[in-house]
Structure formats: C-alpha cells, structure tokens
Amino acid sequence: MDTRGQGSGWSVGDTPDAAGPSGPQVPGMMTKGITSKETYYYRRLFTDGVRAVHAARTLSMVDPARVAVTGGS
C-alpha cells in the first residue's frame, strides 16, 4: 500500500492526499488534519490499510484466511 500523500521511490506513481492542507499542523504527518476526526491523517491512513487488506482478500489467487501484513517506517 502506498501511504497517501507521501509517495515512495519504489512504487509507481503517487497516491495524493485528497484532503490536502487541513488546518494548522507541525511539520510531518502526526498532526495533519488533527482538528477534525473526518480529516485526521492517521484515521484516514488506518482506513486505507483496512481497505487494502479487504481488497487483497477478494483476489482469486489469495487464500483469505492466510493474509498477513508487514511493513516498515
């Protein structure tokens, strides 16, 4: 999963953050959108992760009972 708004050197393209600037924040992502539960960056990021797992489990070549998640930061 490409983390929205951050892009990466190993993935093709970029997943922009549609919420864009959302109020005051310190540099980085921890406080992005923090003034609203609808725009808080990490709420939306966790939702993206759950949706990615659900999508992976629907693929015909995937055993939905054996999906694992790993990553790094």
Q: List pLDDT tens digits, range 11-50.
A: 555 566 666 556 666 677 778 888 888 888 888 888 888 9
- How distant is the alpha carbon of residue 60 from its chain centre? 23
Spatial distance between the Cα atoms of 53 and 28, rounded to a whole number of angstroms: 26
Task: Give, rounded to a whole angstrom, the gap between the first and last alpha carbons of the chain.
Answer: 13
**Does the reported pTM lie above 0.85?**
no
Could you tell me if residue 60 is left (phi over 0), alpha (psi between -120 and 50 degrees) or otherwise beta?
A: alpha
What band does 9 get if pLDDT is binned at 50, 70 and 90? Answer: low
Q: Using CA of residue 9, residue 13, residue 69, residue 36, what is the dihedral sign?
A: positive
Q: Can you give the pLDDT at residue 31?
A: 83
Q: What is the pLDDT of residues 40-49, one digit of tens each?
A: 888 888 888 8
What band does 5 get if pLDDT is binned at 50, 70 and 90? Answer: low
Spatial distance between the Cα atoms of 38 and 47, rounded to a whole number of angstroms: 11
